[in-house]
Amino acid sequence: MDKKILVIDDSATVRQQVRIAFAGKGFEIIEANDGVEGFEAITRCEQLAAVICDVNMPRMDGLQLLRLVKSQQHLATLPVLMLTTEAQPALVKQAKESGAKGWLVKPFKPEQLVATIQRLTAS
């Protein structure tokens, strides 16, 4: 059974790159356009293994989504990996303090992204 990964990014191109990176690796990729849609998908999806989330998005940004997810007791252990163009140490620190399990900067190396998610979802 494939592990479900939710990719939240307002760029269809980035979502497609993530989907391609995980092709044939034992993961099912679910997509959302922004934090609002992403949170709806998180609450709908059974057995979600991890979330890959952009920071800069309309309606609800990645850090707001991260805090919302971590504030829900039943979702608090869900691994969230930030995948963003941002590399500011202050933002990385904020994300880590809010519960992010990792931070990768775009453009990303597909093998690095897959390896990180495999590590976060190993059971």
24-80 pLDDT, tens per residue? 999 999 999 999 999 999 999 989 999 999 999 999 999 999 999 999 999 999 999
Query: All domains of the chain, ordered by start, with CATH?
Result: 3-121 (3.40.50.2300)
Report the b/e string of 12-49 with b at 16+ CB within 10 A: eebbebbeebbeeeebebbbbbbbbbbbebbeeeeebb
pTM for the whole thing? 0.95
Average pLDDT over residues 95-122: 96
φ, ψ of residue 72 to 5 degrees: the values are -90, 120
Q: Is the bond into 79 cis (omega within 30 degrees of 0)? A: no
How far is it, in rounded angstroms, from Cα 53 to Cα 38? 9
